[in-house]
Homo-oligomer: A and B are copies of this chain.
Amino acid sequence: MSAALSLLGKLPGLTSIEALIESRFASDAPLITEISAYLLTLGGKRIRPMLAILCGQLCGLKAPFENTREGKQLIDIAAGIELIHMATLLHDDIIDRSPLRRHKASPLVVFGSENTLLAGDFLLTRAFGLCARLDRYVIERTEEACVALTEGEILEVSLVKQVHTLESSLTIAKKKTAALFRLAGETASHIASTSELTTKYLGDFGEQLGIAFQILDDILDVTSTEDVLGKKSGQDLRERKPSIVNVLWLASENPMADRLRTPAVSSSDASAAEIAAEEAWVAESLKELGASSVILEARSLAEKYVAGAEEALVAAEANSATPFEKGSRKVLRGLMDYVLERVK
């Protein structure tokens, strides 16, 4: 772990963001509060709020954020973005029928799909309520990001039903993951009242970093283990997802990958023999892929996007009236390293 990365956990504002998020769970329906609180206790990387804080600091916003109007707005938007992310986690678990999240039973398993769906709607509403406290720019960007999230998810049709390419897979990553990273970068910059161009480039920075983050997600699904991930590995294979790794593997014309174009094996409908055959294929594929050039290719793609993020950052600073604050620039570099180095 780089020295800069160890600073991340100590970022100012994180405690206030966590408290603000929790305060937004208030509801007349105790079950809604319970589901939201359960999801929060499962933890998370909080990378989106961190990104918002760091971009705000780059542009001159100073801790303690709780003492200034702009600082409070930064806390609001950072909490709002994390709440949107939490809402999508609840709905994604329903779509993916995920039994586990961070080593624990998923909210879906604990509370059922109906309650999980409604709690997701609740969190999305609470998030929007926070983001809408700001100005029209923030509201419009928030809407755009949330629209992109749903588009990314709905475009993520399985490889069985639709032909996917590296391009379509990257479009999905941009929408379903990088949209909130972009939102963090551009709204933080906007709140700090930097130039329009700096705001645009900090948005680009977030987007490029977000795509790299998603590529690593896809890689870790193959190279990591349940012990580390806190959920089963190989899920993108089982679900025939158009992940970056899967589309690259298909493009490599490895015959083992062909099974990605056959329907997923449903654990409720399939025979024991079918499930065993599927699991054998997943295990073999994980071994094959782990040692293959596909992972190297995906990694180098992720590195390319992080390099693109760095370029956007340089352009953002070049268009800023004042130079970026050096301390947060260093921590941000640690965050960028982390995106490539992370193991879960």
Contacts and interface: CB of A to CB of B under 8 A. Distances in A.
Contact of A151 (B32, B147, B151): B32
Interface in A1-55: 27-29, 31-32
A300 interface: no
Interface in A119-178: 119-122, 124-126, 128-129, 132-133, 136, 139-140, 142-143, 146-147, 149-151, 153-155, 175
Given A129-B140, A139-B129, A150 B94 contact: no
B146 A121 contact: yes
Interface string A96-130: 00000000000000000011011111101110110
A73 to B, nearest CB: 14
Contacts of A120: 121
A272 interface: no
- Kindly name the residue among A120, A125, A133 whose own CB sees the greatest number of chain B CB atoms within 10 A: A125
Interface residues of A, number: 38
A125 B126 contact: no
A150 B122 contact: yes
Contacts of A117: 91, 94-95, 117
A154 B91 contact: no
Given A132-B132, A147-B27, A119 B154 contact: yes
- Kindly name the residue among A140, A146, A150, A175 whose own CB sees the greatest number of chain B CB atoms within 10 A: A150
A125 B125 contact: no
Given A117-B95, A132-B132, A154 B31 contact: yes
Given A31-B154, A118-B150, A139 B133 contact: yes
Contacts of A128: 125, 128, 132, 143
Contacts of A124: 121, 124-125
21 contacts: A28-B155, A31-B154, A91-B117, A95-B118, A115-B154, A117-B117, A118-B150, A118-B153, A119-B150, A120-B121, A121-B150, A122-B147, A124-B124, A125-B143, A125-B147, A125-B150, A126-B143, A129-B139, A129-B140, A132-B132, A132-B143
Interface of A: 27-29, 31-32, 87, 91, 94-95, 114-115, 117-122, 124-126, 128-129, 132-133, 136, 139-140, 142-143, 146-147, 149-151, 153-155, 175
